[in-house]
Structure 1
Amino acid sequence: MRDHAQSTRLRRSTAATALLACAALLAGCTSDSGEAGAKSARSGANRPAAKPTPTWDPRPSSIASVGDSISRGFDACSVLSDCPEASWSTGMDVDSLARQLLPNPQRRTWNYAKTGAVMADLPAQVSAATAKRPELVTVLIGANDACQDTVAQMTPVADFRADFAASLGALRRALPKTQVYVA
């Protein structure tokens, strides 16, 4: 009985120590408090550079979206269904790129993304998008290739790279002046 109680206390103590260590690490990563923080703030050291702001020059008059469920707005309006009107790229019910960039977004957007799509699906999506001749194509795909139960089930890197390169190559050949935003 005594060994069990000691073992339980040791496990709790170890867990508490690990939790405190993690908290200390996270606090050190996210705050500029104390002497080190003051020095960092003065020198600008360890601060990320300003993020570049994309320029849309010229501003596109049409947008096509390709990718997976993220670009389809999956689960945004109702459970387990697509909601393209909530797409970050082409949605009309959110502050999407289309709403921000296009003078008349209702007529000049196309969403070819598919819920569950993997990189191997991208060439067909790009082909469909290029037929509309958009001035901007947004690409957000890859989660379904990587988010698998085992590494063996993931899309091999060489296949992923080849499908992506083929897709963008086909897009460039068909529409050399189209702007491309890869997220």
Structure 2
Amino acid sequence: MIGRLGPVLAAVVVLSASGTAQAAQAQPVPEIMAALGDSISTGFNSCGWYVSCAARSWSAGDNGEVRSHYLRLSALSGTLQSHNLNYAVPGATSADLLGQVKKAVAAKADYVTILVGAQDACVRTEQAMTPVATYRRRMDAALAELRAGAPGARVLIASIPDLRRLWQVGKDNPMARTFWTLGRICPTMLAKPSSTRRADTERRNRVRARVMAYNRAAAEACAAYGAGCRTDGGAVFRFPFTLGHVSKWDYFHPNIDGQRALAEQTFDHGFDWIDPR
């Protein structure tokens, strides 16, 4: 989800410096994959009223309209078929990532996707947002656990969507404003959606800056993990999504079109895979 601004994501720079040479090294198709993260990766609200819809997950879903990582990789090799695990949980934050990684290790996953951090920023107050240093420490701990338990695993870290872009595309829509206000959805960013007061503008800018900092921290952690990790280079953050990409049940989570866009952006900016055929 997301708006194109030049300096948005130093994560791009972090990985491009170490990832250019790596990108030429094609990877064998995985045998077991696992999706980790929050409600976005569970397909929440993409097929029903406030429920997860794992089949429509951008990562491990099997819905043909989404064309997830799982389906794209399965088309390259039959070894992955039916080995698509989803340990993401609605409401999960970076604090929950280590536990999800442990499940992926126990399942012997050799390809893991991670999208986590929106819920670290989408809290009741700015003061309650996860500190960047804490987010980085949690990411490092999760990746260290994965490296120790599944040293050959490939990791794709998707950037967190640009939450301010969501406000920009929905602030003039009465239904979106109603859902955000009554549902108290991401209040740090979406509270008082009609307000143009300086205090509210600065609040939104600070929340956006925090998301950008999380993305930088994730990219740095990925680079430290080594050649087995990629980010999307900030593609998800920069993607110019519209209200047509989000669920009409909350005007926040990606609908099936949004999930498809996530799959495209992350897969195209991730690993190069060997086609065994």
**Same-fold status (TM-score > 0.5):** yes
The residue that corresponds to 2:145 in the other structure is 170
| Structure 1 residue 72 displacement after superposition | 0.3
Which structure has the larger Rg over C-alpha atoms? 1
Stretches of structure 2 lacking an aligned partner (at least 5 in a row): 6-15, 159-277
The residue that corresponds to 2:135 in the other structure is 160
Structure 2 matches for 1:15-54, cutoff 5 A? none
The residue that corresponds to 1:125 in the other structure is 100
Stretches of structure 1 lacking an aligned partner (at least 5 in a row): 1-28, 30-48
The residue that corresponds to 2:189 in the other structure is none
1:85–1:56 Cα change, 3 Å: farther
- 2:136 alignment partner AA: R
The residue that corresponds to 1:60 in the other structure is 30
| Structure 1 residue 60 displacement after superposition | 1.4
Structure 2 matches for 1:38-117, cutoff 5 A? 56-93=26-63, 94-102=66-74, 103-104=77-78, 105-117=80-92
| Structure 1 residue 56 displacement after superposition | 4.9
CA distance in 2, matches of 1:64, 1:80: 23
Q: Which structure would you say has the larger RCO, counting Cα contacts within 8 Å and 6 or more residues apart?
A: 2
| Structure 1 residue 149 displacement after superposition | 3.7
1:161–1:107 Cα change, 3 Å: same
The residue that corresponds to 1:145 in the other structure is 120
CA distance in 2, matches of 1:106, 1:141: 25
- 1:97 alignment partner AA: H
CA distance in 2, matches of 1:59, 1:106: 11
Q: Using structure 1 for the length normalisation, give the TM-score.
A: 0.68
> Could you report, residue by residue, the CA deviation over 1:105-144 in whole angstroms, capped at 9, with x for unpaired residues?
5421110000000000000000011111112000000000
1:73–1:58 Cα change, 3 Å: same
1:147–1:132 Cα change, 3 Å: same
CA distance in 2, matches of 1:56, 1:147: 37
Q: Using structure 2 for the length normalisation, give the TM-score.
A: 0.45
- 1:98 alignment partner AA: Y
- The DSSP-based 3-state class of the residue aligned with 1:114 is coil
